Amino acid sequence: MATISMTVNGKAVKRAVPDNTLLSEFLREHLRLTGTHVGCDTSQCGACVVHVDGRAIKSCTALAASLDGATVTTIEGLANGDLHPMQKAFNDNHGLQCGFCTPGMIMSGVDMVARYKAEGRELTEAAIRHELEGNICRCTGYHNIVKSIQQAAAEM
Amino acid sequence: MSDGIGARVKRKEDKRFITGKGKYTDDIRMENQAYAAFVRSPHAHAKVKGIDASAAEAMEGVVAVLTGAQLTGDGIGNLICGWAINSKDGSPMNMGPWSALATDRVRYVGDAVAVVIADSQKLARNAAEAVVVDYEELPAVAHADRALAKGAPQVHDNAPGNLIYDWGIGDDAATQAALKGSAHVTELHVTNNRLSPNPMEPRSAVATYDEAEDHYTLYTTSQNPHVARLVLSAFYNVAPEHKLRVIAPDVGGGFGSKIYIYPEEITCLWASMKTKRSVKWTSDRTEAFMTDAHGRDHITTAKMGFDKDGKITGFHVDTVANFGAYMSLFSSAVPTYLYATLLSGQYDIHNIYCNVRAVYTNTVPVDAYRGAGRPEACYLIERMMETAAREMGMDPAELRRRNFIQSFPHQTPVIMNYDSGDFPGNLDKALKAADIAGFPARKAEAAKRGKLRGIGYSCYIEACGIAPSAAVGSLGAGVGLWESAEVRVNPVGTIEILTGSHSHGQGHETTFAQIVSDRFGVPIDNVSIVHGDTDKVQMGMGTYGSRSGAVGMSAIVKAMDKVEAKVKKIAAHVLEASEDDIVIEGGEVKVAGTDRKMAWHEVGLAAYTAHNLPAGMEPGLKEGAFYDPVNFTFPAGAYIAEVEVDPDTGVTKIVQFTAADDFGTIINPNIVEGQVHGGVAQGIGQAILEQVVYDEGGQLLTGSYMDYAMPRADDVPFYTIEHNTTVCPNNPLGIKGCGEAGAIGAPPAVINAITDAIGTNDLQMPATPARVWAALNAARAPMAAE
């Protein structure tokens, strides 16, 4: 067992969990934050993307024990009250259908917009598509996801 | 009404999904919950000689290890296929036994032989590894053509030669004769590649047995919870229907794969009774590749004849369909009544014959996946049209135009009676939107960059609105395919719609509310949609086959008709007017031509206060309806793909994709276009990326997203979507359906474009870079030799 302390969505949490607990399991099973989804077992689909210390990572591939002391933001903690511009953009542009990949898409979208802004690079359509390499959606054909991220990028 | 039919309303259900508050099956945790892990066969075909669970049972936290012998001993029935198809000689299909947990023989990699129930998922999985199964390996066969060969391993004892049925439709002799007399005959050999549906949410089940009530509750990833309850009850003997509640909460995509009732749900229910614990199972992705029903997997040889003017004279088709190791719930219908009946395409063809042989192999069962039979038909016809046009030196658009059906209703020689459409109009709209006139310039520009640019067409038709019960019943279906609805107007005027349809991404909470808003003038926020729970909603048939609009909404309309009739009676009584003079407009119930009116909610209240109702009228405002369609609906359209092939690498880039669809009435264009986007992406996936691969011995080689190529954001372009609407004359809203069109129409458009680019017709799906490069160089070889 390992005792893990983290700041998750602005709240300090502490749990004793088995050593092999993945961050996705820590969030879903121990903190009951079920907005983070697990859609594959090979780090390909990106439904589990969360932010750890300001960077997007796949929570299905990180051991919770390796992130003791980390600051984690999940889809549940992305906005304070109102919707985050990325969340609003997904609603505005019909960027989701079944909703299962959506939390990961939104967390990846927020991360890519922030990175490109910080680096002063233009987030073109091609760049968005390239950046979404690690996020699979089976419903939308990506059309409206790309549009959503374009809208949010303009607003963020 | 701004939120009514045709409005681009933003989805009501989005908020919970974009804030992480969706409630999917794996998000549910019951008190006292245990976890199931299945012990699965590593062999494609083997005898099970013994199971030693002692080591697993001894592990701390293991609740039980349960086997097939116990399951069948408790009277749990075999899984069944619900659509009876007879062979040409009248003999019934050869359905082999399928137990939820195999007892004496396993028939595919992943076939479950036992289940471990433990206190945690990890414990259950570790303990499943510790169960020792004594297998005697048997020869296996994975591919349909080899399964039919003499001496092939036999999958089921009651299916000699692995043949499930040898079925035919149409007039063989007349079609052969027509081909003989043709000026030109095009012959094609096509495979329709085996796919895994891959909804992003893996299947999951949480089963709870309440001993005091002798009652079961199942949360599960289902497209049709009532059908699940019916089958679990009537055929699998899990519990009688009134003792079984099935709930399909938020479901993360289905695409057909969540229609079926799988061994895992049956086993979890039974195990919850055996262990007196709630039992949860959630598939991982590898398990999904190994156990979710696959789609397609046809091998076809076909000939199409033409007269000297390019008119089709006859179409002769011979198809072998791989069903996998067992007959899944609707498997038998897919390559017969959902495939061969669409072989007339959009064309006026007088002679069609299709022979279908369904075969067992040692692979996971195959059943309906988005489109189900219709993509296979469309791919064959549209590859045929494009290839024939090239062989005859005709413009492929012109060849299609010469053969389009122009008047309706149109009876094809293969059962279907098309009710409406505008096939030339669809094509014209697509050609214009795709800027066909500019293609030569784009091709020349691409050539300067060293790229081969090609263009390909596809004119698809599908039969949706599944299905008129009388028609499918006469063809062997075990159930009717109507839909149900109940409309409840509350005393405050808000409205609840209980529907047998199920939304797993389709946006019913928005579109169903739109048709109610359109009819009664209430804001969509005052309408809630209740679905997915057999305790709340009357028996319904669920969502598949693009049926929720054409059939599900029609049931709601029928129930709203009854509500409207009662509303008019109540208003006429209160307003002292004739019922015939009452109109419902803008949220008010009025006496036409006067200023006398009631607000909608006042009528609701009047219905329940009851002391001022017409004599003899029952209180309340709640009406139900069952809607059984009179015909299928026939969405159709024209798709144009434009691709660039890199001749050095064989990599294909889809640079432009244009769709012009006729879906009948459109309730919400955002949602309809979203369905097309997703369907087209799956069609592009089938055309250039996706393929389930089994080796000769039946080992699954594509068991993860590292091996199975899913379409990703940079594999697809922005799509251009046009609508060319003709209203469906056979249902009240004029809806045809839109859910499957993209997956049906896209694959031939893409392959026709690639073959146009590389100058050869000899190319199979998926057109991977290796295949395209090889085809390109094979086509070039004679030139090189010159």
- What per-residue confidence (pLDDT) applies to B2? 80
Contact A40 B14 (CB under 8 A): no
CATH number at residue A21: 3.10.20.30
Token look-up 């949480």 returns: B206
pTM (global) more than 0.95:
yes
Task: Report whether pLDDT(A12) > 90.
Answer: yes
Half-sphere exposure of B123 (CA within 13 A, CB side): 16
Nearest chain B Cα distance for residue A135, angstroms: 8
- Give a three-class secondary structure readout of B391-435: HHCCCHHHHHHHHECCCCCEECCCCCEECCCCHHHHHHHHHHHCC
End-to-end CA distance of chain A: 41
Phi/psi of residue A64, nearest 5 degrees: -55, -35
> Which chain B residues are closer than 8 Å to A27 by Cβ?
none
A142 to chain B, any CB pair closer than 8 A? The answer is yes
Q: Which residues share a beta bridge with B136?
A: B47
- What per-residue confidence (pLDDT) applies to B479? 81
Whether residues A106 and A53 fall in one domain: no
Domain final position from A42, A76, A110: A76
Mean pLDDT of B184-210: 98
Half-sphere exposure of B187 (CA within 13 A, CB side): 4
A1 to chain B, any CB pair closer than 8 A? The answer is no
Nearest to B200 among A34, A75, A137 (CB): A137
Nearest to A132 among B29, B202, B713 (CB): B713
- Interface probe with A: pick from B9, B11, B18, most Cβ of A within 10 Å: B18
B48 membership: H or E segment, kind and range: strand B46-52
Nearest to A42 among B13, B252, B704 (CB): B704
Whether residues A97 and A70 fall in one domain: no
- Give a three-class secondary structure readout of B58-86: CCCCEEEEEEHHHHHHCCCCCCCCCECCE
Whether residues A36 and A60 fall in one domain: yes
Phi/psi of residue B432, nearest 5 degrees: -70, -50
Encoded tokens for B34 = 């245990």
> Which chain B residues are closer than 8 Å to A90 by Cβ?
14, 18
CATH number at residue A103: 1.10.150.120
Contact B714 A36 (CB under 8 A): no
Interface of B with A in 170-199 (CB under 8 A): 198-199
Domain final position from A32, A50, A76: A76
- What per-residue confidence (pLDDT) applies to B478? 84
B299 membership: H or E segment, kind and range: strand B298-306
Task: Report whether pLDDT(B733) > 90.
Answer: yes
- What per-residue confidence (pLDDT) applies to B584? 96
Half-sphere exposure of B698 (CA within 13 A, CB side): 31
Read off the pLDDT band of B781 (50, 70, 90). Answer: low
> Which chain B residues are closer than 8 Å to A35 by Cβ?
19-22
- What per-residue confidence (pLDDT) applies to B480? 81
pLDDT digits (tens, 9 = 90+) for B577-630: 999 999 999 899 999 999 999 999 999 999 999 888 999 999 999 999 999 999
Phi/psi of residue B446, nearest 5 degrees: -65, -40
Task: Report whether pLDDT(B464) > 80.
Answer: yes
Rounded Cα distance, B657 and B662, in Å: 17
Whether residues A50 and A90 fall in one domain: no
B201 membership: H or E segment, kind and range: none
pLDDT digits (tens, 9 = 90+) for B553-583: 999 999 999 999 999 999 999 999 999 999 9
Whether residues A134 and A90 fall in one domain: yes
pLDDT digits (tens, 9 = 90+) for B138-183: 999 999 999 999 999 999 999 999 999 999 999 999 999 999 999 9
Whether residues A17 and A58 fall in one domain: yes
Read off the pLDDT band of B784 (50, 70, 90). Answer: very low
Nearest to B11 among A94, A141, A146 (CB): A94
Whether residues A37 and A65 fall in one domain: yes
Read off the pLDDT band of A80 (50, 70, 90). Answer: confident
Q: Is residue B3 helix, strand or coil?
A: coil
Whether residues A72 and A9 fall in one domain: yes
What secondary structure letter does DSSP report for A39? -
C-alpha distances (whole Å) from A99 to each of A137, B392, B672, B710 are 9, 48, 17, 18
B640 membership: H or E segment, kind and range: strand B636-645
Query: B75 burial class (0-12, 13-18, 19+ CB within 10 angstroms)?
Result: exposed
- Domain region containing A57: 2-76
- The percent of residues in chain B predicted with pLDDT above 70, rounded, is 99
ipTM exceeds 0.85? yes
Mean pLDDT of B248-269: 98
Say which amino acid occupies B551: V
Whether residues A72 and A103 fall in one domain: no
Smallest CA-to-CA distance from B344 within B404, B301, B395, B386 is with: B404
Nearest to A102 among B18, B255, B705 (CB): B18
- Give a three-class secondary structure readout of B748-783: HHHHHHHHHHHCCCCCCCCCCHHHHHHHHHHHHHHH
Say which amino acid occupies B171: D
- What per-residue confidence (pLDDT) applies to B249? 98
Whether residues A48 and A100 fall in one domain: no
> Which chain A residues are closer than 8 Å to B202 by Cβ?
38-39
- What per-residue confidence (pLDDT) applies to B783? 54
Smallest CA-to-CA distance from B740 within B655, B657, B656, B661 is with: B661
pLDDT, mean over chain B? 97
Smallest CA-to-CA distance from B637 within B745, B749, B747, B718 is with: B745
> Which chain B residues are closer than 8 Å to A46 by Cβ?
none
- Chain B: residue whose CA lies nearest to A99: B17
A46 to chain B, any CB pair closer than 8 A? The answer is no
Nearest chain A Cα distance for residue B18, angstroms: 6
What secondary structure letter does DSSP report for B96? P
Say which amino acid occupies B199: P
Angle at A51 between CA A50 and CA A57, to 5 degrees: 65
Question: Pairing mode, if any, of strands B352-359 and B312-322?
Answer: parallel
Nearest chain B Cα distance for residue A14, angstroms: 21
Say which amino acid occupies B417: N
Q: Which residues share a beta bridge with B379?
A: none
- What per-residue confidence (pLDDT) applies to B694? 98
A64 to chain B, any CB pair closer than 8 A? The answer is no
Contact A97 B507 (CB under 8 A): yes
Token look-up 């599908």 returns: B462
> Which chain B residues are closer than 8 Å to A91 by Cβ?
10-11, 14-15, 18
- Interface probe with A: pick from B12, B23, B200, B670, most Cβ of A within 10 Å: B200
B27 to chain A, any CB pair closer than 8 A? The answer is yes
> Which chain A residues are closer than 8 Å to B738 by Cβ?
none
Nearest chain B Cα distance for residue A52, angstroms: 17
Domain final position from A33, A59, A76: A76
How large is the angle between the packed helices B554-575 and B600-609, nearest 10 degrees?
80
A22 to chain B, any CB pair closer than 8 A? The answer is no
Token look-up 């939107």 returns: B433
Encoded tokens for B722 = 């046009």
What is chain A's Cα-based Rg? Answer: 15
A48 to chain B, any CB pair closer than 8 A? The answer is no
Smallest CA-to-CA distance from B689 within B608, B750, B758 is with: B750
- What per-residue confidence (pLDDT) applies to B241? 96
B639 membership: H or E segment, kind and range: strand B636-645
- What per-residue confidence (pLDDT) applies to B449? 98
CB B409 within 8 A of CB B417: yes
C-alpha distances (whole Å) from B138 to each of B44, B121, B142, B151, B656 are 8, 32, 13, 14, 49
- Chain B: residue whose CA lies nearest to A101: B200
Task: Report whether pLDDT(B53) > 70.
Answer: yes
- Chain B: residue whose CA lies nearest to A34: B27
Domains, chain B, in order of start with CATH, read 15-138+201-252+258-291 (3.90.1170.50), 370-457+636-785 (3.30.365.10), 482-627 (3.30.365.10)
A75 to chain B, any CB pair closer than 8 A? The answer is yes
Encoded tokens for A109 = 């979208």
B713 to chain A, any CB pair closer than 8 A? The answer is yes
For A109-131, give the DSSP string. HHHHHHHHHHHT----HHHHHHH
CB B110 within 8 A of CB B289: no
C-alpha distances (whole Å) from B413 to each of B160, B343, B422 are 31, 9, 20
Whether residues A65 and A96 fall in one domain: no
Mean pLDDT of B521-528: 97
Token look-up 């419903």 returns: A139
For residues B472 and A22, the model is more confident at A22
CB B742 within 8 A of CB B676: yes
C-alpha distances (whole Å) from B112 to each of A57, A95, A98, B42, B54 are 34, 38, 29, 10, 18
How large is the angle between the packed helices A85-92 and A102-119, nearest 10 degrees?
120
C-alpha distances (whole Å) from B730 to each of B412, B418, B477, B630, B733 are 18, 11, 22, 7, 9
- Helices within B503-553 (DSSP H only): 508-520
Encoded tokens for B63 = 């609740």
CB B375 within 8 A of CB B349: no
pLDDT digits (tens, 9 = 90+) for A96-115: 999 999 999 999 999 999 99
B11 to chain A, any CB pair closer than 8 A? The answer is yes
Q: How many domains does chain A have?
A: 2
For B550-591, give the DSSP string. IIIIHHHHHHHHHHHHHHHHHHHHHHTS-GGGEEEETTEEEE
What secondary structure letter does DSSP report for B464? B
Rounded Cα distance, B2 and B12, in Å: 15
What secondary structure letter does DSSP report for B746? H
pLDDT digits (tens, 9 = 90+) for B420-429: 999 999 999 9
Q: Is residue B177 helix, strand or coil?
A: helix
Rounded Cα distance, A154 and A89, in Å: 10
Contact B18 A47 (CB under 8 A): no
Nearest chain A Cα distance for residue B647, angstroms: 22
Nearest to A91 among B18, B682, B713 (CB): B18
Token look-up 């979507």 returns: B721
B61 to chain A, any CB pair closer than 8 A? The answer is no
Contact B19 A76 (CB under 8 A): yes
- The percent of residues in chain A predicted with pLDDT above 90, rounded, is 99
- Chain B: residue whose CA lies nearest to A79: B19
Nearest chain B Cα distance for residue A90, angstroms: 8
Task: Report whether pLDDT(B785) > 50.
Answer: no
Contact A94 B671 (CB under 8 A): yes
Residues in chain B: 786
B593 to chain A, any CB pair closer than 8 A? The answer is no
Whether residues A59 and A98 fall in one domain: no
Task: Report whether pLDDT(B685) > 50.
Answer: yes
Contact B677 A140 (CB under 8 A): yes
B201 to chain A, any CB pair closer than 8 A? The answer is yes
Read off the pLDDT band of B641 (50, 70, 90). Answer: very high
pLDDT digits (tens, 9 = 90+) for B313-371: 999 999 999 999 999 999 999 999 999 999 999 999 999 999 999 999 999 999 999 99
Encoded tokens for B401 = 């135009």
- What per-residue confidence (pLDDT) applies to B786? 43
Smallest CA-to-CA distance from B223 within B463, B489, B552 is with: B552
Read off the pLDDT band of B782 (50, 70, 90). Answer: low
